[in-house]
Structure 1
């Protein structure tokens, strides 16, 4: 009998307990081995638990779990469900009685009825045998058959190590292939290969899948002008060495700061990274380049440029850690290729190594000390370096070659490089001082500023004309025109930047376009203009309005309809959070609320902070999970269902006046926090925001 129960336990899902005998303990029908043979997740309801239970493992009065099988041993089941059990029983009897039918005093027994035939035992004094199962319809049987299942091989997921090794192997193979093509073909073939690859990659990756492109590492134009021995001898050589030094100050610290900020977003559960494996393709490139160049460069320089370009573009589409590593490889490959293209003597090569190493040491020291609070002014300082590099490289290229030997295109490019580089340099200095709090962040409105800027621009046109017509005949005139151009550009950078308020300073980033004009690099142009576009769209302002100032009423037809709205929030913060270092208290509050089951989220406006992403970095530094930090377009829809909104320091970005046609911020996308059931405003005072508009939220709430 117990063997039969053992087989039944393996096959069935439910086990009926044995009936109780009056005054006797319940027999043990379901033994331990029977329970252990059952599938995990099954349930035994032991109705005999009151007298010990039919199951050996039943605990009277308790619910227990053994080997994944739940055993319910309640001894008061009848009292738990008296109404339900009586109702179920009476319903069943009533349904059967109704189904049989009545003719006043007697049942109407229809033996053709399947339910009646299977329920009846005797009829008119005769015992009826159990009815046989009804015949199945052949068509139904055929339709019920399951189609044969295709056995698929299980997919084995790759480990992080295997994925990294596969990626590095692929990159190493491509590096070797490009070097081989460069060695055994020629510059013309490599130029065609570069054009073809760029046409495909730029079209499918950089343009279609990205909102913006990062600054190119091609800031080494000064390498082509460097000369002398261990130290530069002429003024152009001094300018070139200084530009290479400053370029390295920008690059090495930029990568270090990027890596540090990305590490703030890492979680203990994230997969491991194997960034050190990227030294393998770097070693293949360096070693292969040196070995192959011993028998002639051929197309190696073009191959190096080709790889550097592809890696720089590939850095756009990779994940953050991989993108940073690919960017480093691209910069390194570009430097090595440029050094070989110039054909330095060993002494000049040592000079280049000196300025590169010195710039790297200084910038790494800066990058290690920068905190997330100092990111905006640090970025402004690095852009200041880029502008100065453009000025130095452009001037050095003309002075080294001689204005008389340079074509009009080269002269025009050099002049524009000095002009826009000078604007970048002076503007970034002012941006740094405002963002660092070393001067007032309020816009400086000079009397007659438009007349001043127009006069400076007219002077630029005059010096540009003189530079193109008179500079080829005299080096002194060329130097004077470039010096005057630099002075005018510094003044223009100061006057235009002074009119911009501190919160608008990130828009100045588009001045890095100087590098794009000087080096004919469209990626720098698109990066900066896209970056400015993101900022000004978030404020519903044009770039000209930001730079040259002014407020004009906006009519309804000019309003920006932003329909990308998302989910609810509990807190909204801006740069005041950073100034007060409130991110640590926010992290404690988030942890406390989430531990009690409260849905706590943060909302960030696109122009919150002094640069895009700063508040995210600050919250990540404090330990706030980044999956609860949402952008405005991810968070707006659920404010109506939010119980409490804690508004930390924000003003214009949550001002309902933006919804009123004709106001100075009409159409600017805002966080609609006022739709929440309760809004708690945390501000140091009731002063107006940057637009000198009082928020109506405190007035409506008080």
Structure 2
């Protein structure tokens, strides 16, 4: 048998200790005979552990060498082949820690109120703080009820009611038919600028809300809201004639409640237009109450009417640029009103320095916030209008520059509050106007186009806080309440936008990139070849589908492709195909912009769904048509922990049976991240201008039979 075996064969005689089962075995030896290795060891049991350990050690050594770099032993735990794929067990926080955190937050809040109570200079300041706190709570709960599709109208209506800055300007106007000094001139300009917001804001809000109307919606009779408005104004007029002591304060309360109703009405499409009517009633009522409390002479009243009348007739109609422009008006009006108030009220500051310290501080803060809002909004307007490059522009040592500007404002505040000299105080206000205006430029220029939704909401919030500062400065409940509503509205929208991008608010403001979940390693390299398609093939996929989801992005907005795509949807729907839209919260350049554009083109709002509502439906969808979107449909956000958009909520289009992505090129989006979806087997790229491609798709579809 041994002779018949091939050279190099091995035989192990386990019975070697007893003489062996093979004739050629030599007990206790390992030798070669006839080319066959004979193993006749009699101590195999004692040899096995050592051999097993050696083999195991070799395997472990090779594994560790494979996991580490060639030059040094360093294991990269973020590597895909090394990282733990098992689900991590969430660490449960003890109930004590949870309760302690909540108690700590409440302690901080109540402690702050106690400090304010001790430092409060007078009863009026304490009462205004109460009004501010309650208005902020009301605004918080009201704004959370606004549906995402109406976030653009929300921004517009808050711009309109922010025009109540005109009330502060009216309080400082005088001199007859023309202003007679610098304070009155500034107040006239502030009233004029504020009125632009009132007229343009409500007109644009109405236009946007009308876009959402469907042909089969019941007739609306919103003109009937003129009845309660007339009753409200008539009741206030009667109170003036009878010298009712509380007529002004109750009128301010009614106006403030109407402004709350304007925001609350946006909780549904059904009540949105009624809310706009309430907002108009609130602003008109607030102006009437302000004029009634001032009781100006006929010449001054004519000056006021001129400023308000001309300003309110100026039309601005471009979205989303108008929103940024309106923010700049609020900021400029706030700054001018604060400067005018300082000029007019400085003598009172001297008479009672401690009593007017809060008003003096509010005046400075209003100037500072107004300056940042004014220039920041102009920068945002320039980027959105195409006047300026929409990409982020990073100045050398920009963080140091912004820190220096902030420090300069702090120094100006310290000198301003500690000095009673009129000239020095005015110089410090002028200094903070310049420094804050520079901050608005340096902060906004470092923010790229894709972060514009957050920038606009932040500026919206700034304008509200500037209005609050005016309210404290003038001891005006209306300005404080409306400012708190607008400030909380912008803050909540900013939070929603940042959450949708998995970004921190500070990161966006400072022009940072990357998400909070981004790892420290290198992003995955994308390999593969994209599959190109054409209009004819795309139409075949669409017409043979039962379910289609269209994902629009900023590319659709830029190309103005909403009209052909709306007609395409009608054609597909007439063939019995279910068509829906999936809108990402940060798609476009302002909150809700795509919802407004689709409504403008006649797309029914009930087939336009938000990301959280539709994301689980992609698995059962036949065809997904992506138009001008990139980062919001990038699977790297979920699959690559080292991607700069890791953790960002995205639309999971890649789960559909077929994905058609319409883009100009295969290039990256704003986040400069390659999109693996482009190279998937179920993805086809339809390259070209969105408007031209949609027109060709519509023409081709209309030419095919049902």
Normalised TM-score (structure 1): 0.67
* Cα separation, partners in 2 of 1:552 and 1:361, compared to 1, 3 Å: closer
Partner of residue 447, structure 1: 396
| C-alpha distance in 2 between matches for 1:238 and 1:568 | 62
State the secondary structure of the residue aligned to 2:551: strand
> What is the Cα deviation at residue 691 of structure 1?
1.0
> What is the Cα deviation at residue 568 of structure 1?
7.8
Q: Does 1:535 align with 2:497?
A: yes
> What is the Cα deviation at residue 506 of structure 1?
2.7
Q: Does 1:275 align with 2:222?
A: yes
Q: Please identify runs of 4+ aligned residues in structure 1 that moved more than 4 A.
A: 194-201, 207-214, 552-558
> What is the Cα deviation at residue 410 of structure 1?
1.4
| C-alpha distance in 1 between matches for 2:671 and 2:519 | 22
Partner of residue 681, structure 1: 661
| C-alpha distance in 2 between matches for 1:208 and 1:431 | 25
| C-alpha distance in 1 between matches for 2:680 and 2:132 | 61
> What is the Cα deviation at residue 287 of structure 1?
2.9
Q: Does 1:425 align with 2:371?
A: no
Q: Which deviates more from structure 2 when the two are superposed, residues 310-319 or residues 486-495?
A: 310-319
Q: Does 1:404 align with 2:356?
A: no
Q: Does structure 2 conserve the Cα–Cα contact (< 8 Å) formed by 1:554 and 1:663?
A: no
> What is the Cα deviation at residue 518 of structure 1?
3.2
Task: Work out which of the residue numbers 451, 454, 458 in structure 2 matches 1:507.
Answer: 454
> What is the Cα deviation at residue 348 of structure 1?
1.2
Partner of residue 223, structure 1: 170
Q: Which deviates more from structure 2 when the two are superposed, residues 583-592 or residues 485-494?
A: 583-592
* Cα separation, partners in 2 of 1:485 and 1:395, compared to 1, 3 Å: same
| C-alpha distance in 2 between matches for 1:544 and 1:505 | 14
Partner of residue 331, structure 2: 387
Partner of residue 19, structure 2: none
> What is the Cα deviation at residue 517 of structure 1?
3.2
| C-alpha distance in 2 between matches for 1:304 and 1:590 | 49
Q: Does 1:361 align with 2:313?
A: yes
Aligned pairs (5 A) from 1:134-213: 202=138, 206=142, 209=145
Partner of residue 629, structure 1: 608
* Cα separation, partners in 2 of 1:693 and 1:568, compared to 1, 3 Å: farther
> What is the Cα deviation at residue 697 of structure 1?
1.1
State the secondary structure of the residue aligned to 2:350: coil
State the secondary structure of the residue aligned to 1:409: helix
Q: Does structure 1 conserve the Cα–Cα contact (< 8 Å) formed by 2:255 and 2:283?
A: yes
Partner of residue 376, structure 1: 320
Task: Work out which of the residue numbers 643, 660, 670 in structure 1 matches 2:622.
Answer: 643
| C-alpha distance in 1 between matches for 2:309 and 2:676 | 55
> What is the Cα deviation at residue 587 of structure 1?
1.2
Partner of residue 591, structure 1: 570
Q: Does 1:466 align with 2:415?
A: yes
Q: Does structure 1 conserve the Cα–Cα contact (< 8 Å) formed by 2:135 and 2:485?
A: no
Deviations 1:634-659 (CA, angstroms, capped at 9, x unpaired):
11111111111111111100001101
Partner of residue 149, structure 1: none
> What is the Cα deviation at residue 283 of structure 1?
2.2
Q: Does 1:264 align with 2:211?
A: yes
* Cα separation, partners in 2 of 1:264 and 1:417, compared to 1, 3 Å: same
| C-alpha distance in 2 between matches for 1:528 and 1:203 | 10
The answer for unaligned runs of 5 or more in structure 2 is: 1-123, 266-270, 472-479, 521-545, 685-706
Q: Does 1:306 align with 2:253?
A: yes
State the secondary structure of the residue aligned to 2:177: coil
Answer 1 or 2: higher relative contact order, Cα 8 Å, separation at least 6.
2
Q: Does structure 1 conserve the Cα–Cα contact (< 8 Å) formed by 2:143 and 2:264?
A: no
Task: Work out which of the residue numbers 253, 256, 264 in structure 1 matches 2:200.
Answer: 253
Task: Work out which of the residue numbers 594, 619, 633 in structure 1 matches 2:598.
Answer: 619
The answer for unaligned runs of 5 or more in structure 1 is: 1-187, 559-566
Supply the RMSD in Å over aligned alpha carbons.
2.8
* Cα separation, partners in 2 of 1:568 and 1:544, compared to 1, 3 Å: farther
Normalised TM-score (structure 2): 0.66
> What is the Cα deviation at residue 569 of structure 1?
5.2
| C-alpha distance in 1 between matches for 2:548 and 2:216 | 25
* Cα separation, partners in 2 of 1:486 and 1:568, compared to 1, 3 Å: farther
Q: Does structure 1 conserve the Cα–Cα contact (< 8 Å) formed by 2:136 and 2:484?
A: no
